[in-house]
Structures are given as structure tokens and as C-alpha cells.
Amino acid sequence: MKYQAYGYAGAKIATQGIDRETFERVKEARATCLFALEIEETFALLFDNFAEFEVELLRLAEFSLLWLGRARDHTESMQERLLLDRRLVNLLTSCRLYLDQTDDGISTLFGNPSGELTSVKEFKNDLYDSHWGYRLMEALRNHVQHFGLAARVITLNSFRSSGDGPDYSEFTVYPQANVKALAENPHFKKTILGELRGQGENIDLRGPAREYMSCFVALHNKLRRTIGQRVEDARRAYESATRYYASINGQEVKFAELQEFSEDGDVTDEISLVTNFLDYYDNLLKRNSVNDDIHHATASNSDQKRTYQKKA
């Protein structure tokens, strides 16, 4: 194999031979940076799906408020349920995507076995063991993938809310899983069914979904800590290479690359020395600052003035 740096110096092409170690070092550094970006993108995808699920609940609740006396036929109700199921399936699918990709990425980055991979897996196991919402939603994801949809019932509800001034009627819409329907799946995890029995015929999925998402916030923070130093070192090495090869053989170049050639002279691998994806990564880091208490919070459009107690 042969290796070179390559770039455009005006209308001409500038090249410079490099060794294999340099090529592999820059390639590994770039791959590490791209993995960090991939984690942030997958996390953004996950929480965009969660936001769409939650906003759909608010939208349907507002419609039930506005058209309170409108007759609703069975087909309309089932279409609304199916819409919530679609949002929920998208959410559960993106959760599995996040879990699989982060496992594979940590394994590639640190090795399998490695202390880092073991630590991340143990962290996930602890989340599963200590959070009912995590266990239920994981079981529902398997159910959706292999047997049937998650929500069999959609419930429209209202309750009286008190505060300063007149009382308000607040409207909610929520999807529910049917315990009997889940039990018809011969592969549904028996321990989860045991936990479900005694909680009623239908299970409100809002609380478990929010608790599940709060676990992903904790997991994402754990992953950031795990890869942080490795990513920082890789970024420093990669940015150093992009600065160094901005000039090749004394000529300033654009669109610099490192290339690998076979003995026949064919390009078998190349590394584009660009940094725009790092700016995108920095922006995602800021965007992905998610409320870590989402399972204890809810959105509302109410303008009713209420008396709030401060936390002790």
C-alpha cells in the first residue's frame, strides 16, 4: 500500500507522500469524532420522536376541548388511536436504534471486552432493574416488533382544576395498553406481565414512556462521560492534521485528503480533511441539553393561576 496527502492548489494538484501510521492515526481520530457525532444525532432523533408523541397528546386534548359536543364515530376514534400508536412505534424504534448503535460504537472504540463497555452495560442493567417504565417500554418494544401494536385503547378525560378565580376543566388524552392483549403474546416477558397484573385492565402509557425517556437522559450523560477524554484527544489530533495538511509541499490547498493506494495504483481508501461536521457536533451538544426531570413534569396550556409550593 502507498499513502499520500492530496489537495487543490488553485488549478493544480499538490501531493505529498505520507506513511501508513499517519494515515491510520488520522483515520482513527476522525472515526472517533464521527462516532461522538453519531451518538448526538441518534439522541436528537430519539427525543424528536418523543416530542412528537407528547405534542400529539396535547393536540388531541385540545381538539377534544374545542369540539366537546361533537359526536365521534368508532372509525375516528380508532384513527386517533392508530396515530398515537404510530408516534409510539417511532419512539420505541428510535430507542432500540440508540441502544444498539451505542453498544456497537463503544465496543469498536474501546474493544470487546473492555472496562468501558462493561461499565456501560452495567449502567443499562441498573436502569432496567430500578425503573418500572424502562422494563415495561422495553417489553412493549419487543411486542410491537413481533406481535402487535402497543396501544389498544385511547382515553379522553377531563378533570376539575382549582386555583385563583373560577375552576377550570382540563382535558387530557392518553393511550393505554391492554393487559389481556399483551398476555395473548406468548413471547411477552412473564415477569413484566406479573408486574402488570393488579394494576388494572388498561395501563396508561404516558408515565412509563416519560420515565423511560428520563433513563435515556441519564444513559446519554453516562456515555458522554465514558467517551469524553477519548473524543477530546481524537479531535485534537484530527484538527491538528487538518491544519498541517492545509499546506502540501509548501502550497496552500483546498479540499485536502489523505489517500490510500493499492499496488496497482487504485485508490482504496480516502479521508476528507474537513471540519464542518465538528461545528455541527458542537451545536448538537448544546441542543441535546434535555430536562433530566421529564418524568416529573408535564406541559400545559392552562393560564389558571395556581399556588405552587417550593421544593424543600
Per-residue pLDDT band at 307 (split at 50, 70, 90): low
- pLDDT tens digit sequence for 267-303: 999 999 999 999 999 999 999 999 989 999 889 888 8
CB 272 within 8 A of CB 265: no
Amino acid (one-letter) located at 157: N
Enter the C-alpha cell of residue 308.
Answer: 405552587
Contact between 90 and 96 under an 8 Å Cβ cutoff? The reply is no
- Whole-angstrom distance, CA of residue 307 vs CA of residue 120: 42
* 175-203 mean pLDDT: 94
User: Which segment, 79-83, 156-160, 211-215, is predicted with the most confidence on average?
Assistant: 211-215
User: What's the rounded mean pLDDT across residues 250-269?
Assistant: 95
Is residue 308 very low, low, confident or very high in pLDDT (cuts 50, 70, 90)?
low
In a domain, 123, yes or no: yes
In this prediction, residues 99-119 reach a mean pLDDT of 96
Q: Where are the beta strands (DSSP E) in 179-211?
A: 202-204
To the nearest whole number, what is the mean pLDDT of the chain?
93
Is residue 257, in this structure, part of any structural domain at all?
no
**Pair 292, 31: CB distance under 8 Å:** no
C-alpha dihedral sign at 159, 160, 164, 166: positive
Share of the chain above pLDDT 70, in %: 97
pLDDT at 156 over 60: yes
Q: Could you tell me which residue, 308 or 140, shows the higher pLDDT?
A: 140
Kindly state whether residue 90 falls inside one of the protein's structural domains.
Answer: yes
Question: 298 vs 54, 79, 88, 138, CA distance in Å?
Answer: 9, 25, 17, 22
- In-domain check, residue 108: yes
pTM of the model: 0.92
Region 148-171: mean pLDDT is 88
What average pLDDT score do residues 107-125 get?
A: 97
Show the domain range for 215: 30-234+273-296
Cell digits of residue 278? 465538528
pLDDT over 50 (residue 107)? yes
| Average of per-residue pLDDT across 253-259 | 97
Residue 187 lies in a domain: yes
CA angle 191, 195, 197 (to 5 degrees): 115
Spatial neighbors of 263 by CB under 8 A, at least 6 apart, are 1, 2
Burial class from Cβ neighbours inside 10 Å (0-12, 13-18, 19+) for residue 137 reads buried
> What's the domain count of the chain?
1
pLDDT of residue 73: 76
74-86 pLDDT per residue, tens: 788 888 889 999 9
- pLDDT score recorded for residue 202: 94
Determine how β-strand 267-272 pairs with β-strand 153-161. Answer: unpaired
Q: Rounded to whole angstroms, what are the CA distances from 161 to 9, 168, 283? A: 70, 5, 40
Cα 115 to Cα 118, 120, 231, 294: the distances in Å are 5, 9, 17, 30
Contact 181, 152 (CB under 8 A): yes
Pair 259, 270: CB distance under 8 Å: yes
pLDDT of residue 144: 94
**Domain for residue 196, yes or no?**
yes
Question: Per-residue confidence at 312, pLDDT binned at 50, 70, 90?
Answer: very low
Averaged pLDDT, 24-37:
98
The kind and range of the H/E element at 244 are helix 206-244
247 domain residue, yes or no = no
Residue indicated by cell numbers 419487543: 142
259 within a domain of the structure (yes/no): no
Question: What does each C-alpha distance from 259 to 13, 114, 144, 277 come to in angstroms?
Answer: 14, 31, 45, 20
